């Protein structure tokens, strides 16, 4: 490895000290040079990248656009590990979007990078079943070691000159746009399957939420885990003490919640502390 590229250290913690990304810390420990450019569009950054004389670049959730001079710099290519079954969910948030859409499966793919957004041909694929209650965080953690193994296999095939690529299908293209703040609020008017998928698709980050006055003015409460449940009533109404809330159709059970500044907790503990009674309306 000739270099590692990652985001620049950011202020974090109570002291707001600069904190390196995990990639940065690991590369430092291994004695690998680390670069943290804000952009790769400048001639200086592109010259520095080409100066590594790399055979291949491995890109995983890097967050910066790779312009053509960078894509063309390695002797072989730039390989991207993308967390979806392309061409479904091209873009920034494929894991969240797959769970939010209620997809039955996802996966990781090793692809050759092009100038288009996740349009390149695919070399290797691994699939993962998305369970009915699996969260985006759990899917991420399931895909991570599988993706690492898949990329290592791809690099081995490059060494043996046996890595081949297949163009993506032209049908079934969808885009996984970034999650916006506006869409994280729960809409209880939706049917229960959509509400449940919304909660688990945004868990643990950025977190789906509802607003309610719990005695100190309106506050946001994140919902981190839910289950499908039986019940009906006005959308957003607490139907039972064990967390069943009515949706536009059917109901969901809230399992794990988190108030601002607090740790995640079971709904029963939250309800006791907030003194919630049946009939309470979630906003």
User: What is the pTM for the complete model shown?
Assistant: 0.94
Residue 88 burial class via C-beta count within 10 angstroms: exposed 0-12, middle 13-18, buried 19 and up: buried
Please tell me the distance from the alpha carbon of residue 190 to that of residue 40, in angstroms, as a whole number.
42
Q: For residue range 229-250, what is the model confidence (pLDDT) as tens digits?
A: 999 999 999 999 999 999 999 9
> Number of helices and strands (H, E) in the chain?
7, 15
* In 31-179, alpha helices (H): 43-50, 68-71, 94-100, 136-159
| DSSP track, 214-266 | -SSSEEEEEEEEEEEE----STTBB-STT-EEE-SBSEEEEEEEEETTS--EE
Cis peptide leading into residue 204 (ω within 30°): yes
Identify the pLDDT of residue 63.
Answer: 86
Quick one: DSSP state of residue 1? -
Q: Which domains does the chain have, with CATH numbers?
A: 37-176 (3.40.50.170), 181-274 (3.10.25.10)
Identify the pLDDT of residue 208.
Answer: 98
Q: For residue range 20-41, what is the model confidence (pLDDT) as tens digits?
A: 999 999 999 999 999 999 999 9
Identify the pLDDT of residue 193.
Answer: 98
Residue indicated by tokens 């609020």: 185
Quote the percentage of the chain above a pLDDT of 90.
Answer: 93
Identify the pLDDT of residue 215.
Answer: 82
Identify the pLDDT of residue 16.
Answer: 84
Q: Which residues of the chain have pLDDT under 70?
A: none
């Amino acid at each position: 490895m000739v270099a590692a590229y990652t985001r620049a250290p950011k202020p974090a913690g109570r002291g707001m000290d600069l904190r390196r990304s995990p990639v940065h810390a690991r590369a430092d420990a291994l004695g690998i040079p680390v670069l943290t450019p804000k952009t790769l569009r400048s001639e200086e950054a592109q010259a520095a990248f080409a100066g590594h004389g790399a055979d291949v670049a491995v890109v995983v959730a890097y967050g910066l656009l790779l312009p053509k001079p960078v894509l063309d710099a390695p002797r072989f290519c730039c390989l991207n590990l993308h967390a979806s079954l392309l061409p479904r969910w091209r873009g920034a948030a494929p894991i969240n979007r797959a769970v939010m859409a209620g997809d039955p499966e996802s996966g990781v793919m090793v692809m050759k990078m092009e100038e288009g957004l996740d349009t390149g041909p695919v070399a290797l694929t691994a699939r993962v079943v998305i369970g009915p209650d699996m969260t985006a965080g759990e899917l991420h953690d399931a895909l991570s070691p599988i993706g690492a193994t898949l990329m290592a296999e791809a690099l081995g095939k490059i060494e043996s000159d046996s890595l081949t690529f297949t163009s993506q299908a032209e049908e079934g293209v969808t885009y996984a746009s970034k999650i916006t703040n506006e869409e994280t609020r729960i809409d209880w008017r939706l049917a229960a399957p959509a509400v449940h998928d919304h909660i688990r698709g945004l868990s643990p980050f950025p977190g789906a939420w509802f607003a309610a006055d719990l005695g100190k003015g309106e506050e946001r409460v994140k919902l981190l885990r839910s289950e499908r449940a039986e019940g009906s009533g006005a959308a957003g109404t607490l139907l039972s003490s064990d967390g069943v809330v009515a949706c536009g159709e059917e109901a969901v059970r809230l399992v794990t919640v988190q108030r601002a500044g607090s740790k995640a907790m079971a709904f029963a503990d939250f309800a006791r502390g907030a003194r919630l009674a049946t009939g309470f309306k979630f906003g």
